[in-house]
Structure 1
Amino acid sequence: MDDDAVAGFVQIARPRELTARWRAELIACWTVVANSGGAVVPLAFPVPPVDAEQVAPAADALVAGLAPDRGRLLLATVEGTLAGWLVVRRELHPLIRHWGVVNHVQTHPAFRGRGIGSALLRRARGTATEMGLEQLHIGVREGLGLEDFYRRLGWTEVGRWPGALRLAPGDDRDEILMALDLRTAG
């Protein structure tokens, strides 16, 4: 699926722009992705299984931090339904204000295998450029093949934090640090 095959993209740059419908779909997507083993479980809610009531405060906190120059939520829709989403967030320290971080890259399981994640990440490049960013960074969990997915989209592995992620006792994984230079990315 290319960007044109996704029926639409919605960019949310301010908390007031998120409708009740999109909020509900965002929480539902995050819940099902977390419960299906997706690498998207923040400290804000417990290890899965989780329900919408547990995910809602994390979603609300994420949306509260949106601002045109600081963070944007990007939604991908298919036939009017939320198919996936991510966040592009600017780093605020003056020495690194030129780069941003991509967080919470999620594709609803009902839409997996259709290129939604790839389309979202291609669109995120434009969002980041609109924000005046020159680089994007992301940390991905080892053991899921995510580094290969990002490499295919032009990202480069720049380092690892060995054993940084403890999923369960005896299940430590590296966090793979990846970057995309927007000045040279095609």
Structure 2
Amino acid sequence: MSLIFKLDPSVGPELRDGLLALWADVSNAGGAVGFVPPVTPDAIRPELLKHFAAMAEGRTRLLVGYEEDGAVAATAFLTFNTHRLMKHWIWAYTVMVHPKHQGKGYGRELMAAVEEAARGFDGIEMIRLTCRGGTGVDRFYASCGYRDGGRVPAAIRVAPGDDRDDITMYLPLY
């Protein structure tokens, strides 16, 4: 069974609540998506609203992976650069797959859908993302074709005494 991906789905209460639940479940399972456990959907809501504001301004696009029953199972936010010298690449943010789907290949499906969406945007030649060191997710992205673009040592403080590298990865689309 595969996920059903939709770019720019209509945002309403059902999608909003599905994204909040996904983000909380991923974070509480140890996923590196901007929070550390324990976290609640209410704590995540302000960050999601920032993503929605960027979508309303046309700076960000939303890619959602749905289960057959319509439940939100995966997501990525694709953000365009506004700097005139960097408009040829986009950022992939808040890339996540629900923990109950780990090991099913949905992460690869999501990254393939991210690439397909990016190829459909005029003038986009590269996707960039960042990930938290010490999680192994950089190896996953590398297996999807992303290259290591550098790291900032100890840039992410997960907890006192637990600093992680901020790793930048990129995927050329040419």
Instruction: Note the 1:56-71 alignment, pairs <5 A.
Output: 56-66=45-55, 70-71=59-60
What amino acid is the match of 2:173?
A: L
Q: Does 1:182 align with 2:173?
A: yes
Q: Which residue of 1 aligns with 2:135?
A: 144
Tell me if the contact between 1:160 and 1:177 (Cα under 8 Å) persists in the aligned partners.
yes
| Partner SS for 1:94 | coil
What is the aligned counterpart of 1:55 among 18, 22, 44? 44
Cα separation, 1, equivalents of 2:67 and 2:4: 7
Cα separation, 2, equivalents of 1:142 and 1:7: 28
Tell me if the contact between 1:101 and 1:138 (Cα under 8 Å) persists in the aligned partners.
yes
Q: Which residue of 2 aligns with 1:78?
A: 67
What amino acid is the match of 2:23?
A: W
Instruction: Note the 1:153-164 alignment, pairs <5 A.
Output: 153-164=144-155
Q: Does 1:41 align with 2:34?
A: yes
Tell me if the contact between 1:69 and 1:131 (Cα under 8 Å) persists in the aligned partners.
no
| TM-score, length-scaled by structure 1 | 0.86
| Partner SS for 2:85 | helix
State the Cα distance separating 1:7 from its structure 2 match: 3.7
Cα separation, 2, equivalents of 1:6 and 1:92: 34
Q: Count residues with an aligned counterpart.
A: 172
What is the aligned counterpart of 1:114 among 83, 99, 104? 104
What is the aligned counterpart of 2:90 among 97, 100, 114? 100
Q: Percent identity?
A: 35
Tell me if the contact between 2:127 and 2:172 (Cα under 8 Å) persists in the aligned partners.
yes
State the Cα distance separating 1:67 from its structure 2 match: 5.4
Q: Does 1:124 align with 2:117?
A: no
| Partner SS for 2:30 | coil
State the Cα distance separating 1:69 from its structure 2 match: 5.5
* Structure 1 residue ranges (4+ consecutive) displaced by more than 4 angstroms after TM superposition: none
**Mind listing any 5+ residue stretches in structure 2 that lack a counterpart?**
none
**Mind listing any 5+ residue stretches in structure 1 that lack a counterpart?**
none
Tell me if the contact between 1:75 and 1:84 (Cα under 8 Å) persists in the aligned partners.
yes
Cα separation, 2, equivalents of 1:105 and 1:20: 21
| Partner SS for 2:46 | helix
Tell me if the contact between 1:161 and 1:174 (Cα under 8 Å) persists in the aligned partners.
yes
Tell me if the contact between 1:6 and 1:76 (Cα under 8 Å) persists in the aligned partners.
no
